[in-house]
Chains A and B, each alone.
Chain A
């Protein structure tokens, strides 16, 4: 049972480079989320999606773009990486029919921007 899979697990970027983080879920969940985790700040919501073809901004969307072309995939893009984007990124998903609102998290992507 794969659940939520994030790739890559680790990445080092130079300032100004671009990259895409991939989140894939095999649970047929409608809702997907991207969070970043920084020490002392918990997890902050970057962007989220409530269905294929839809996206919305979270708390800290600046410098990131997302796409949800397929229901099972949610991509997070950094067009021009900055050191402030050094963080651990988590993807999560859930189904709106889940009455307990259970979120499933991926294992994270550790990104360093130098």
Chain B
């Protein structure tokens, strides 16, 4: 069965430090991969997405992620954390299902990022 695993439910970094949030997927077909961010009491906002073009994807707010097929991974990184990056981050994949298209989005459990001074 298709699945998404986010390693680490909580990650804490210092302001200015590297942010690394891990995501691994399981799929028998080529996936499309996404990272979403959720600020407190808000909905989900798309950070970036991989849709079979370049394997290194750049998103908003200085985040980027690299699709590595051999490792079935799509880790999210940011070179220098900012206080405003504190939020919950979700990795998600979409797979082809019965209706003939990629129309089912499956989420990981989420990683809560804390940034301290």
Contact = CB atoms under 8 A, between A and B. Distances in A.
B49 A42 contact: no
Contacts of B104: 45, 48, 58
Interface string B89-117: 01010100001011111111110000000
Nearest to B44: A105
Interface string A77-108: 00000000000001010101001111101111
Given A101-B94, A105-B44, A108-B43, A41 B109 contact: yes
Given A90-B43, A100-B51, A103-B46, A40 B9 contact: yes
Contacts of B42: 107-108
B90 A42 contact: yes
B101 A40 contact: no
A53 B32 CA distance: 27
Most chain B CB neighbours (cut-off 10 Å) among A44, A90, A105: A105
Nearest to A103: B105
B90 A102 contact: no
Contacts of B45: 105
Interface residues of B, number: 26
Given A99-B51, A101-B32, A101-B51, A33 B105 contact: yes
A114 interface: no
Nearest to A100: B51
Contacts of B90: 42-43
Interface in A52-79: 56, 58
A47 B101 CA distance: 16
Nearest to B6: A42
Contacts of A108: 42-43
